[in-house]
Amino acid sequence: MKKVKILMSMMLSVLFVALVSCSAGDRLQSEVDAFNKQCPQDMGNGMEMTSVSIESNELIYLFTVDAGKLGVPFSMLKSTQSTMKEGVKGTIAGDASIKKLAELLIEANYPMVFRYKDKEGGDSFDVKITPEELKEALGKK
């Protein structure tokens, strides 16, 4: 009998975790749908937010970059990934919509990925912010 109780307790715990993750995933999908209604969105200086998606348990913002309009070669932009990452982390707590999204990502344990793709070529790179980094940015560590 004791083994049955332990087994039931473990199964309920797994079910609870699955329900919480599903719930956060559903809410994330709603946010993604809302963002995509605004896409494509001109971000200025040759950058366009093309789409937002959830792929392989990651929230991905896809940006198309026109290096000619940006005024720097795509390779130079690519070399500033760590600076870009710190800039994004710095804005998370100060923007209410991003903060809400970051909290959902933490709950779902999904990273936030900013994918930059060169409009002229096939080159691309990602700036990934893990759930732990999101927690730090929100001061929740």
C-alpha atoms less than 13 angstroms from C-alpha of 91 in its C-beta half-sphere: 8
Q: What is the domain partition of the chain in residue ranges? A: 2-137
pLDDT score of 19? 36
Architecture of domain 2-137: 2-Layer Sandwich (3.30)
Report the distance separating Cα 132 and Cα 110, nearest Å: 10
Map residue 79 onto helix, strand or coil. Answer: coil
pLDDT digits (tens, 9 = 90+) for 49-89: 999 999 999 999 999 999 889 888 999 989 999 999 999 88
pLDDT of residue 111: 96
pLDDT at 105 (0 to 100): 93
Residue 17 has pLDDT above 70, yes or no: no
The amino acid occupying position 126 is D
E runs forming strands in 36-106: 41-44, 47-55, 58-65
List CB contacts of 65: < 8 A, sequence separation 6 or more.
46, 47, 74, 77, 116, 117, 118, 119
